Amino acid sequence: MKGLALLLSLALLVLFSGCRPAARVSGPMQLTATIAPAADILSRLAGEEAEVTTLLPQGASPENYEPTTQDIRALAESKGFFYVGDLGFERSWVERIKTQNPELKLYRLDAGLEAKHAGHSHGADGLVHDPHYWTSVRGLRALASAALVGLLELSPQDSARYRERHQALTAQLDALQTELETTLRGRSSSAFVIYHPSLSEFAEEWGFTQLVVEEDGKEPSPRHVAEIVAKARAAGVRVVFVQQEFDSKIVQSIAQELGARTVTIRPLSADWQGELRRIAQALAAN
């Protein structure tokens, strides 16, 4: 009887297992991204085939963040690390991450963007391209394409799903670009003020002048602030952007002197669509 029961159990197991897709034996693939916008796009492409961890907490500065023990553990358990390319945190840690995790695959997400002098200062290192390229539609397209390349290498068996999701994301970016074009037709000024140069790519993509309060990555001198105010007044600036990761006292005082509105933005938010819409709407408002 025991033998018969065992055979029956095995038969039922085979029957029911054949009625559903085979489960992934090892569970979802573990991936890590530096910032929330990259993690969100990676999650959209990877779907349920992967779990994505974000290293940089919301509100933390990407220039000087130090990974926690939990971050190090997430990297050790990951199959791939997708990094922006030139954030301050990354310049300090990428080589160490490589050394500590020799089996970990690293993917630089700005691979499709040529380096250019866009006004982002790194002190003694001089001016390099602004690493905040995901604040432009062009940058988001490049990020998505680089993420797709990484996923295809890490899990080729899921390539059809990845490519299908990439096509859907591309259509979404097309729609977002059209929406931003429509919104920005009514802009009242071609310049804006911001503390940290996070919108260089956005400014170039849409024909704005970005007036940066920060001076060589440090607190600005009174002379520099006066120059920014003069340029902003001449350009008819109506909007001063405040960033969550940086002290807003100086930009608040500049806005008061200009009679301009302050608008809080979060370029490191996972809601990259909402942020781009918020920026465009602020610049278009009269």
Topology of domain 29-180 in CATH is Rossmann fold (3.40.50)
Residue range 237-282, pLDDT digits in tens: 999 999 877 777 899 999 999 999 999 999 999 999 999 999 999 9
Q: Which helix (H) or strand (E) holds 30?
A: strand 29-33
Task: Tell me what percent of the residues of the chain surpass a pLDDT of 70.
Answer: 85
Q: What is the DSSP letter of 195?
A: S
Rounded-to-10 torsion of CA 158, 162, 164, 167: -160
pLDDT value of position 51: 95
pLDDT value of position 144: 97
For residue 236, pLDDT over 50 is answered with yes
Residue range 14-30, pLDDT digits in tens: 332 343 333 344 689 99
pLDDT value of position 123: 35
pLDDT value of position 147: 97
pLDDT value of position 26: 64
Q: How far apart are CA 126 and CA 114, in angstroms?
A: 17
Mean per-residue pLDDT over the chain, rounded: 84
Partnered with residue 106 across adjacent β-strands are: 81
* pLDDT category of residue 232 using cuts at 50, 70 and 90: very high
Region at 32 (left for phi over 0; alpha for psi -120 to 50; beta for the rest)? beta
Q: How far apart are CA 230 and CA 220, in angstroms?
A: 15
* pLDDT category of residue 114 using cuts at 50, 70 and 90: low
Rounded-to-10 torsion of CA 196, 246, 38, 177: -50
Of the two residues 77 and 12, the one the predictor is more confident about is 77
For residue 127, pLDDT over 50 is answered with no
Q: How far apart are CA 179 and CA 140, in angstroms?
A: 15
Determine the average pLDDT of the residues in 216-228.
90
pLDDT value of position 204: 94
User: Domain segments of the chain: what residues?
Assistant: 29-180, 186-284
Residues 6+ apart with CB under 8 A from 284: 183, 184, 185, 186, 187, 188
- Do 96 and 66 meet the contact criterion of CB atoms below 8 Å apart? no
- Answer whether CATH 3.40.50.1980 is correct for domain 186-284: yes
Task: Tell me what percent of the residues of the chain surpass a pLDDT of 90.
Answer: 61
Q: What is the DSSP letter of 204?
A: H
Q: Do domains 29-180 and 186-284 have the same CATH topology?
A: yes
pLDDT value of position 13: 34
pLDDT value of position 6: 37
Report the 3 state secondary structure along 132-164.
CHHHCHHHHHHHHHHHHHHHHHHCHHHHHHHHH
Report the 3 state secondary structure along 76-95.
HHCCEEEECCCCHHHHHHHH
pLDDT value of position 18: 40
For residue 88, pLDDT over 70 is answered with yes
Entry pTM: 0.83
* pLDDT category of residue 187 using cuts at 50, 70 and 90: confident
